[in-house]
Structure 1
Amino acid sequence: MARILALDYGKVRTGIAVTDELQIIASGLTTVETKDLLSFLQEYTEKEDVERFVVGLPKQMDNTDSESEVLIQDFLKKLKAKLPSIPVERQDERFTSKMAVQTMLDSGVKKKKRRDKALVDEISATLILQAYLNRF
């Protein structure tokens, strides 16, 4: 089987998580600057077999799209043009950032490390991927 890659897309940086080859475990991979995201994904998919991308779907509490969805739609067009053979699915990402911080607290991560927004983004991507995997 191939891996599933999840993205917590952000204007400045994007958290990335990936499954193992059996698609059982979601693990944080890295955080990259969003301006470098497409080239990172191109390089990664040349080295690893990726079955699909799962991109966070930011919704407001009233279920309307959040402001960042416009940016994500623009990115998705570029992603589909660059890697057309890899399908993209979306996963609700409400509360993932808050859950990421809580996970860090529960794990005993020191206060200085909890301020690392890149780590929060990577954990958020992992939560998005795990929620996606739990759907099946």
Structure 2
Amino acid sequence: MLDPTPRVVGIDCGTKRVGIAVADPLQLFARVEGTYAPDEALAVLERLKVTDGLEALVIGWPLTLAGEEGAATDVVAAYIARIRERLPAVPIHKRDERFTSELAKQALQEAGVRQPGRRDKGRVDAAAAAIILQDYLDAG
């Protein structure tokens, strides 16, 4: 039996929720894993490392509209520090996440999700993680 191909994982980090998406073994497509509380998300990442292996993490970097760092990037930087404590050997790539929430809402609408579901912040965060990861995969 072949060893599983290590996965690339996308992360959309907020203060209350963390959206996680996982790439397929060929690293062509991102799929939503789910939305979790920050501590629970760390446990999910550890589980993914054990079950599938982790090649890299791609985390949304919330720049301002002007392209500058601010309070939101401080929150994500603190979460990256927590990830590095638990998964020190896994590379972490920051990816500009401006407009990913709006793109996620649009994608949910195009997928036929009705209005109340498109307002579900957890669903939007998970979809945003998939968009962040897909952007990274497409950039190759």
Normalised by the size of structure 2, how large is the TM-score? Answer: 0.91
Task: Report the equivalent of 1:60.
Answer: 64
d(CA) in 2 for partners of 1:33 and 1:52?
Answer: 21
Identity within the alignment, %: 32
Task: Report the equivalent of 1:11.
Answer: 15
1:43-81, Cα deviation, whole Å (9 max, x unpaired): 221111110000001111111013211111111112112
Match of 1:125 among 116, 126, 129: 129
* Structure 1 unpaired stretches of 5+: none
Task: Report the equivalent of 2:34.
Answer: 30
Deviates more, 1:122-131 or 1:26-35: 26-35
1:114 Cα offset (Å): 1.4
Q: Count residues in correspondence.
A: 136
* Structure 2 unpaired stretches of 5+: none
Q: Secondary structure at the match of 1:94?
A: coil
d(CA) in 2 for partners of 1:125 and 1:66?
Answer: 20
Say if 2:82 is the partner of 1:78. yes
d(CA) in 1 for partners of 2:76 and 2:59?
Answer: 9
Provide the alpha-carbon RMSD of the alignment.
1.2
Runs of 4+ in 1 over 3 A off after TM superposition: none
Matches within 5 A, 1:34-113: 34-113=38-117
Normalised by the size of structure 1, how large is the TM-score? Answer: 0.94
Q: Secondary structure at the match of 1:120?
A: helix
1:39 Cα offset (Å): 2.0
